[in-house]
Amino acid sequence: ADSDWKEKAWERLRSQIRPRGSLGYLEEIAARLAAIQGTLIPDVSRKIIFTMAGDHGVAEEGVSAYPQEVTAQMVYSFTRGWASINVLASHAGADVRVVDCGVAADLPQDWPVIHGKIGHGTANMAQGPAMTREAAAAGILLGAGLVERAFEEEGYRLFGTGDMGIANTTASTAIVAAFSGKPVAELTGRGTGIDDQGWARKVEVIERALAVNRPDPEDPLDVLSKVGGYEIAALAGAVLGAAKVRAPVVCDGFIATAGALVACRWAPAARDYVFLSHRSREVGHGAMIDLLGIRPILDLDMRLGEGTGSALAMNIVDAAARVLKDIKTFEEAGVTDTGH
Amino acid sequence: ADSDWKEKAWERLRSQIRPRGSLGYLEEIAARLAAIQGTLIPDVSRKIIFTMAGDHGVAEEGVSAYPQEVTAQMVYSFTRGWASINVLASHAGADVRVVDCGVAADLPQDWPVIHGKIGHGTANMAQGPAMTREAAAAGILLGAGLVERAFEEEGYRLFGTGDMGIANTTASTAIVAAFSGKPVAELTGRGTGIDDQGWARKVEVIERALAVNRPDPEDPLDVLSKVGGYEIAALAGAVLGAAKVRAPVVCDGFIATAGALVACRWAPAARDYVFLSHRSREVGHGAMIDLLGIRPILDLDMRLGEGTGSALAMNIVDAAARVLKDIKTFEEAGVTDTGH
């Protein structure tokens, strides 16, 4: 991102017909968009959300309230337009593409999804690495390639990320535990809704996965391959792809932020392109947000995934672009400015 | 609002193809819309924001960073589409109507505003009542009538409120001080951007206004007339009008919430129809929010007014309506529900 354009954007924002700073965080978003796209008239009109789907071998440890078959069922519901992401993306004026990064079931080829399956679900990380380094790299390339092509060939200018995968809060918690070094119990939430016993089991499983695999926090690909997931690799890749084509990417909640964290550990410059859509109710999200140092746009106690937070926040990002472009300056409008 | 419809809405929300409660505060908004309109398919498609403008005699005490003439200048900029509210309302798909409730200057009759002027700015509340009870009642009727007619004659279904008026954070602070009984210094913010000396003067002026007028917190019209403003009266009226026609109304920040507070003190049932768009950066807003007991939708450090917060939050309210209507249930979709 280009700091000259950021300064130019702040200059314009400060001279608009309103008290300085009065649009709060919208102004910061607007200035970041200007820096990302190198312009005072950022274009975020064409929007797309990639919902990355994958299964997790660790589901066999009983860490989720739902059985693994729900991943494929939900992917089907996405293709039919029935689900939360369909409704909220449509509301946001965003297209949705669902990507099979590693669903356990074989999805019919005629389903309108991107068939990028890297494996039939990861291995159980409580017993060994979830996947190989090669598979993790393939997941990153999958996500990055999708964003790059959507930008270059189809003209999309604002990207969103989302996830679907039973047990993927378990993997994401392990990722943030590995990077932050914080106790697993402090980072573990209820996912889609487990009880106290299920929560205790989830903590124990994550601790076991970390003990068995010893992921190296200095090596993001090591963390990703040992305790991540295929869809989390693709979510990281989407962020890297967005950074490569210099496009803003709005990340959804806990899982998508885990992907963003991997991406930004790998390539710190990618952080300039990342927006966090919302503060998830999932407890470990706070530690991810702190590590990234990016303020989430919304705080609505959501904990759904699929890209629903990205869809909602895209409207605010779009509003910020319009603020920068369309609100007139005191000079343009001939209104008294006392310099505040 | 109808609690049967609220319960029916929660039933549908709980049976949708996603973990229960996973859309957080969106679900509460959706259930409230169902109760307000008495339906599971709430309609908030036609949106309008009323930006109420008025001047304040207390401006002569030097409580604002801007001179009084800015009120009329900003009203002019609203009519030209140059200002923040124009940009953000357009983004929200909402119409904007600007209402001269009591601007000090005579606005040309050919300006496309609603000419509802009750007086040429209020009297200086630091020396006596800002206005008569009759004028306060006239302001309420003005706001209520506008909303009622827009609902009945033009089919608007979602209302927003906003304000313009130099020195109106001073009046709004006095209102929340009168209702809450809290010390003025704890409730007084920087408004559009005064310095330390200006802040101390503002506190002293508000304390003087309360001492001189002794507004009775049990009598909302007494509070409104003694330390309120013409536009604040109309903002209260807009809430009462929305409650009367059973329509949701999204209130902007500090000033609009002061109006909502007056309305809900007068007619507590009106609270069912009120949404708070955002938590303003203006320090006294927290006390208003506590008194109303309504969670704001956004928290973006905004402190602009004009209805800008309402415009941004309308998109979220609209999203909540779509969540309720459009996300399929487990039964409709044939997806495994484990009952969580």
Q: With contacts defined as CB-CB under 8 Å, which chain A residues touch B20?
A: 193
**Contact (CB<8Å) A91/B322:** yes
| Token couple for A83 | 């689900």
Residue B334 has pLDDT above 80, yes or no: no
Q: Report the pLDDT value the prediction gives residue A194, as an integer from 0 to 100.
A: 85
* CA-CA-CA-CA torsion sign (B94, B278, A193, A112): positive
pLDDT at A218: 98
| pLDDT computed for residue B7 by the predictor | 97
Query: Does residue B122 have a pLDDT over 70?
Result: yes
Alpha carbon distance, N-terminus to C-terminus of chain A: 28
* CA B214 – CA B222 distance, rounded (Å): 9
Q: Count CA atoms closer than 13 A to A218's CA, side-chain side.
A: 0
Give which of B15, B26, B73 to mutate to test A binding, by max A Cβ within 10 Å: B26
Fold for the domain defined by B3-42+324-333? 1.10.1610
CATH fold of the domain at A47-319: Rossmann fold (3.40.50)
Mean of all residue pLDDT scores within chain B? 96
Q: Could you tell me the residue ranges of all domains in chain B?
A: 3-42+324-333, 47-318
Among the listed residues B177, B255, B166, B172, the one whose alpha carbon sits nearest the alpha carbon of residue B211? B177
Tell me the H-state helices in chain B.
Answer: 3-14, 25-37, 69-80, 84-92, 133-154, 168-180, 184-187, 196-213, 220-227, 230-245, 254-266, 285-292, 308-326, 330-333
With contacts defined as CB-CB under 8 Å, which chain B residues touch A336? Answer: 66-67, 69-70, 73
pLDDT band, residue A336 (cuts 50/70/90): low
Note the CATH number of domain B47-318.
Answer: 3.40.50.10210
| B266 to chain A, closest Cα gap in Å | 30
Set of chain B residues whose Cβ sits within 8 Å of the Cβ of A91: 315, 318-319, 322
Taking an 8 Å cut-off on Cβ atoms, the answer to whether A84 and B315 are in contact is no
Whether A119 and A139 have beta carbons less than 8 Å apart is answered as no
User: Per the CB < 8 Å rule, is A312 touching B308?
Assistant: no
Of B17, B25, B84, the CB nearest to A327: B84
Residues of A in contact with B22 (CB under 8 A): 84, 192, 302-304
CB contact under 8 A, B26 and A91: no
Q: In this structure, are residues B49 and B85 in contact, taking their beta carbons and an 8 Å threshold? A: yes
Q: Chain B residues with CB inside 8 Å of A89's CB?
A: none
Query: Residue B93: its chain A contacts at CB < 8 A?
Result: none
Of the partner residues A70, A86, A322, the one whose CB lies closest to the CB of residue B335: A70
| ipTM surpassing 0.85 | yes
Mutation pick from B68, B73, B87 vs chain A, by most beta carbons of A within 10 Å, is B87
CB-based contact A322 B91, cutoff 8 Å: yes
- Average pLDDT for B35-48: 98
* Chain-chain contact of A303 with B91 (C-beta, under 8 angstroms): no
Residue of B nearest to A77 (CA): B333
Per-residue model confidence as pLDDT tens digits over B61-91: 999 988 999 999 999 999 999 999 999 999 9
**Mean per-residue pLDDT for A26-48?**
98
Q: Give the tens place of pLDDT for each residue, A147-205.
A: 999 999 999 999 999 999 999 999 999 999 999 999 999 999 887 778 999 999 999 99
CB A232 within 8 A of CB A171: yes
Residue B339: pLDDT band (50, 70, 90) is: very low
Nearest CA in chain A to B304: A22
State how far residue B274 is from chain A, nearest Cα, in angstroms.
18
Interface test with A, best of B12, B325, B327, B329 (most A CBs within 10 A): B327
Query: How far is residue A272 from each of residues A246, A282, B29, measured CA to CA in Å?
Result: 9, 24, 33
pLDDT digits (tens, 9 = 90+) for A248-275: 999 999 999 999 999 999 999 999 999 9
CA dist., res. B79 & res. B75, Å (int): 6
pLDDT at B333: 84
Whether pLDDT at A340 is above 90: no
Q: Which of B78, B199, B310, B335 to mutate to test the interface with A (most CBs of A within 10 A)?
A: B335
pLDDT of residue A148: 98
**Mean pLDDT in residue range A226-242:** 98
List residues of A with catalytic annotation.
Answer: 306
Residue B80 is which amino acid?
Answer: R
| Per-residue pLDDT at B179 exceeds 60 | yes
Q: What angle separates helix A308-326 from helix A3-14, to the nearest 10 degrees?
A: 70
Among A70, A304, A316, the residue with its CB nearest the CB of B23 is A304
CA A310 – CA A161 distance, rounded (Å): 7
Burial category of A109 from C-beta neighbours within 10 Å (exposed 0-12, middle 13-18, buried 19 and up): exposed
Counting one residue from chain A and one from chain B, the pairs whose CB atoms sit within 8 A come to 180
- Of the partner residues A192, A308, A318, the one whose CB lies closest to the CB of residue B91: A318
Whether residue A17 and residue B82 make contact (CB cut-off 8 A), yes or no, is yes
Residue range A89-120, pLDDT digits in tens: 999 999 999 999 999 999 999 999 999 999 99
- The CA R_g of chain B, rounded to the nearest whole Å, is 20
Q: Between chains, do B193 and A326 touch, taking CB under 8 Å as contact? A: no
